[in-house]
Amino acid sequence: MILKKPQSGKIRRIIVVSEVYYPDEQGTAYYITGLAEGLAEHYQLTVFCGYPAVTARGRKVLARETINGVRVERSHGTTFNKDKLLLRLINLGSLSLFIFFKLLISVRKDDIVIVVNGPHPLPYLARLVCFFHNTRCILRIDDVYPEVFIATGIIPEKSIIARCIRYINTVLFRGMDRVVVLGRDMKALAEKATKNGANHIEIIHNWGDVDTVLPKDKAINPLLAQLGLKDR
């Protein structure tokens, strides 16, 4: 069964659901923070996320605060050794559950929920919340699973786990009001997963900060010097 209902056109608030957010500044956190702050210029915006766990791991932050117009609601998960796959999955699962319960009591019918995918159950739980509240739900895909697990050798391509992930992704993708991907190859994989020629999958490319990130002359570029590429 596809978890989908008719929706109203009014937007009360946009809710972004992500494992990571500012002050973490790795790829997903950086782009989701920029997305949320951009949307906050035009809409009421709330982010549900975890505590800093990557580039700002251990930094003290408030459980609830407003940053650049964005209301940030953070949840704790378990903090086992993330270098162990099983323990990392437990951390992600516990964080997802805490965010799920917050969403259950926060989401309303006229909200729009944008959820970021990852190796965690957040997209599935967020979609379930949206079904309960008759709320529109958009999935942003940064990485495609199980392909990431297969490419890194975590699971075999034809394993039962890979087949199960593909099946639940088919249900998830079909049930979303929109699916946002980063490029053509990712769109092709998402379309293949839906198995029905879905027309609700859109490409929105990531952006670069041309004001902050500027190229250096080859003669003084330390990275090129380190790699021995100054003359190439």
Band (pLDDT 50/70/90 cuts) for residue 209 is low
Question: What stretch of H or E contains 192?
Answer: helix 184-194
- State residue 93's pLDDT score: 93
How does residue 224 score in pLDDT terms, banded at 50, 70 and 90? confident
From residue 213, how far is each of 15, 132, 208 by CA, in Å?
29, 43, 8
Q: What is the pLDDT of residues 163-186, one digit of tens each?
A: 998 898 888 999 999 999 988 888
Write down the pLDDT at residue 1: 33
| Domains by residue range for the chain, with CATH | 13-227 (3.40.50.2000)
Quick check: helix, strand or coil at residue 171? Answer: helix
Question: Quick one: pLDDT at residue 208?
Answer: 67
pLDDT, tens only, 7-61: 455 788 999 999 999 999 988 999 999 999 999 999 999 999 999 988 888 889 9
What pLDDT, on a 0 to 100 scale, did the predictor assign at position 3? 40
In whole angstroms, give the CA distance from residue 78 to residue 94. 6
Which of the pair, 225 or 150, is modelled with greater confidence?
150
Predicted local confidence at residue 141, as pLDDT? 92
- pLDDT for res 155: 87
192 or 230: which carries more pLDDT confidence? 192
pLDDT one-digit tens code per residue, 150-162: 888 888 988 999 8
**Residue 24: its pLDDT value, please?**
94
Residue 74: its pLDDT value, please? 97
- For the stretch 79-137, pLDDT in tens is 888 778 788 889 999 999 999 999 999 999 999 999 999 878 999 999 999 999 999 99
Can you give 141-162 as a three-state secondary structure string?
Answer: CCCCCCHHHHHCCCCCCCCHHH
pTM of the model: 0.83
Most confident of 80-84, 139-143, 202-206: 139-143
Q: Which residue has the higher pLDDT, 210 or 78?
A: 78
Answer for the pair 54, 28: CB distance below 8 angstroms, yes or no. Answer: no
* Selection from 4, 56, 62, 48 nearest residue 26 by Cα: 56
* Cβ partners under 8 Å of residue 73, min gap 6: 46, 47, 48, 49, 63, 64, 102, 106
Average pLDDT of the residues in 189-213: 76
